[in-house]
Structure 1
Amino acid sequence: MSKLVVTNKETIRKLNKWKKLIHNLDDYESYLTVRDVNQIGRRHWIYCPIQKLHVHLLSDGELRAYKKLLLQKNIVRIFSQYALDLDETLDISVSLNLIHPRNWQTNVAHVMTTDLLATYRNKEGKEYRIAYTFKYWDQIYKLNTKDEVERINKRTWQKFEIERQYWKRRDVEYRILTERDATKEEAWNFDYFQLAYDFETNIDELKQFCVAFIQAWIVSPRAELQVLLKSLSVALNHSFQRAQSLFQFSGLHNLLPVNINKFIRLFRPVELLL
């Protein structure tokens, strides 16, 4: 019979220190950082100029998921590697008759974290949260002989369930993301839009540009993006660079119905979802 999962003072001390820190949301720090993870794979420690936060993402897929969430229209903030209360996850694991994540050699419990915790604001101005876990598709699913999707890696799904129940107690929706939900195209487009994150403009100029861009696109939907921007720079008496920055800023803030599931490049047509 396995030993009882236990905690230690060092873990509790680190978790309590983090809890005190996050009371000031402007100074949020990820509980788990890239330096804490000793595993093979690409990890990303980035400074997000939009949120003005350091963000720790433990795979390329997590990075793409983070970028996709930032492009959502009603997003308020996103926290990475958000720690869950250890006493509570231990309690949940016991109630579900599941083994809590632990050091298998010492049986000391690990603090569980949610990869991305996003806060949104609805049309009425009320904020709500959604918790996201990222895993690559072939780590948790497979196709059987009938081409039906089946779950694999039972232990991973057990951990998901502990996490799901934790957020359910807080009336927070819990979702599992894979690379099929956050594509390379979306990440590429975010990087392109983000070049204009500190671009200075005003509401009137943005309205004028967006209306003119949609009208020009309706007339020539197959024109290269650079051709549309050149024509608009002339029509609106802007430089080409300013027209491009207006397009990027509008894309970043969801002011244009751009299809972000296709690579946006100057020498290609852009697709609007009208």
Structure 2
Amino acid sequence: MAKRKRQLTEAKIERMIKEGRGQGTEKDYLPWLKIQDVPSEGRATRGVGWTTGRRHELMSDIERDYCYLLDYSDNVSDIREQFPLLPQEETLLIAEQLGIDHPRDPKTGVPIVMTTDFLVTSNERDFARTVKPQSEMEDERTIAKFEIERIYWETRHVDWGIIIDTDLPDELVRNIEWVHKEYHNEDVEALGPFTIRNLEQMLAVRLDNGEPISKACLACDERLGLELGTSLALFRHFVARKKWSVNMNERIIPTLPAKEFKVITPEYRYEAKGG
């Protein structure tokens, strides 16, 4: 298979703009960069977001983990990753005023359209965040590019900041990751409201009595004649939807009881985040 050509040209930039890259909001937003456009740092992912309902183009583990936290927040209403700093003339001028070399394609020499990892809407206000590993924070070239970014957003009166991997609460992130893919669980509609309600009530009683999660889920599967694993998937679904509450700051271990288990919404409703 032929390798994808990633060299940047002015014609390619114009084409990306015409495609709508970096434009739109929520489900209609189109990131400036897609996974296939650049070499990824770590494991690139395209997870479907709870908040936007679309697949996110996440270039590294830290971007994925930060996106989990944004998705979990009740205050966040939009997440736009790989957001372009356009028009490009602005970042070129900022770099010139700072005496910094603007990032360029190493092969063509064409100035690269700079991006901010995340532009987030929270409580009807936007903030911009760059996420990077701690290991990059002492690199002078990286810091120089951060300064271009900072000034770009400052001129727009948008709060900008840097998130490093050590800033992220690992236990919370891993718990969100564990429940994340079950947010949209097809079993909810397939099984029907009567079965879901019975499962919900039966499982909640067992968990509230301190029974280990996996044991309680297995008992419900057997009692209701469900395929093994169905109740555990729905436990994750209820937690993801925040219908049920557990201590998300301590690692959820299925062989142990659910810590600080609580039913938030006693009657199940199938709805999107913020609905």
Fold match (TM-score > 0.5)? yes
Give 2:55's aligned amino acid.
H
Q: For residue 100 of structure 1, what is the aligned residue in structure 2?
A: 102
- Please give the alpha-carbon distance, in whole angstroms, between the structure 2 residues aligned to 1:106 and 1:242: 53
Select the structure that is richer in strand.
Answer: 1
1:116-131 correspondence to structure 2 within 5 Å: 116-120=118-122, 122=123, 127-131=124-128
1:19-30 correspondence to structure 2 within 5 Å: 19=20, 22-23=23-24, 25-30=26-31
Give 1:46's aligned amino acid.
R
Deviation, 1:249, is 3.6
- Please give the alpha-carbon distance, in whole angstroms, between the structure 2 residues aligned to 1:21 and 1:104: 23
Q: For residue 265 of structure 2, what is the aligned residue in structure 1?
A: none
- Please give the alpha-carbon distance, in whole angstroms, between the structure 1 residues aligned to 2:158 and 2:171: 29
Q: 1:192 to 1:45 in 2, by over 3 A?
A: closer
- Please give the alpha-carbon distance, in whole angstroms, between the structure 1 residues aligned to 2:242 and 2:161: 23
- Please give the alpha-carbon distance, in whole angstroms, between the structure 2 residues aligned to 1:178 and 1:48: 23
1:25-44 correspondence to structure 2 within 5 Å: 25-38=26-39, 41-44=41-44
- Please give the alpha-carbon distance, in whole angstroms, between the structure 1 residues aligned to 2:245 and 2:154: 33
- Please give the alpha-carbon distance, in whole angstroms, between the structure 1 residues aligned to 2:34 and 2:21: 17
Give the unaligned 5+ runs of structure 1: 1-6, 141-151
RMSD: 3.9
Deviation, 1:226, is 4.6
Q: For residue 185 of structure 1, what is the aligned residue in structure 2?
A: 171
Count of residues in Structure 1 that have an aligned counterpart in Structure 2: 241
Deviates more, 1:250-259 or 1:87-96: 250-259
Q: 1:130 to 1:269 in 2, by over 3 A?
A: farther
1:136 is aligned, of 133, 137, 143, to 133
Does the 8 Å CA contact 2:116/2:149 hold for their aligned counterparts? yes
Deviation, 1:135, is 0.9
1:1-274 correspondence to structure 2 within 5 Å: 9-19=10-20, 22-23=23-24, 25-38=26-39, 41-48=41-48, 50=50, 51-85=52-86, 86-103=88-105, 107-120=109-122, 122=123, 127-140=124-137, 152-199=138-185, 200=188, 224-226=212-214, 244=232, 247-254=235-242, 258-272=246-260
Deviation, 1:269, is 4.1
Does the 8 Å CA contact 1:89/1:166 hold for their aligned counterparts? yes
- Please give the alpha-carbon distance, in whole angstroms, between the structure 2 residues aligned to 1:180 and 1:46: 23
Give the unaligned 5+ runs of structure 2: 1-7, 263-275
Deviation, 1:23, is 3.5
Q: 1:153 to 1:253 in 2, by over 3 A?
A: same
Deviation, 1:54, is 2.7
- Please give the alpha-carbon distance, in whole angstroms, between the structure 2 residues aligned to 1:255 and 1:180: 30
- Please give the alpha-carbon distance, in whole angstroms, between the structure 1 residues aligned to 2:21 and 2:177: 33
Identity of counterpart residues, as a percentage?
Answer: 27
Deviation, 1:90, is 1.4
Q: TM-score, normalised by structure 2?
A: 0.68
Does the 8 Å CA contact 2:104/2:111 hold for their aligned counterparts? yes
Report the secondary structure of 2:166's partner residue.
Answer: coil
Q: TM-score, normalised by structure 1?
A: 0.69
Deviation, 1:74, is 1.4
- Please give the alpha-carbon distance, in whole angstroms, between the structure 2 residues aligned to 1:113 and 1:273: 41
Q: 1:167 to 1:191 in 2, by over 3 A?
A: same
- Please give the alpha-carbon distance, in whole angstroms, between the structure 1 residues aligned to 2:161 and 2:242: 23
- Please give the alpha-carbon distance, in whole angstroms, between the structure 2 residues aligned to 1:257 and 1:174: 32
Report the secondary structure of 1:48's partner residue.
Answer: coil
- Please give the alpha-carbon distance, in whole angstroms, between the structure 2 residues aligned to 1:273 and 1:159: 45
Deviation, 1:273, is 10
Deviation, 1:166, is 1.5
Deviation, 1:81, is 1.0
Q: 1:119 to 1:108 in 2, by over 3 A?
A: same
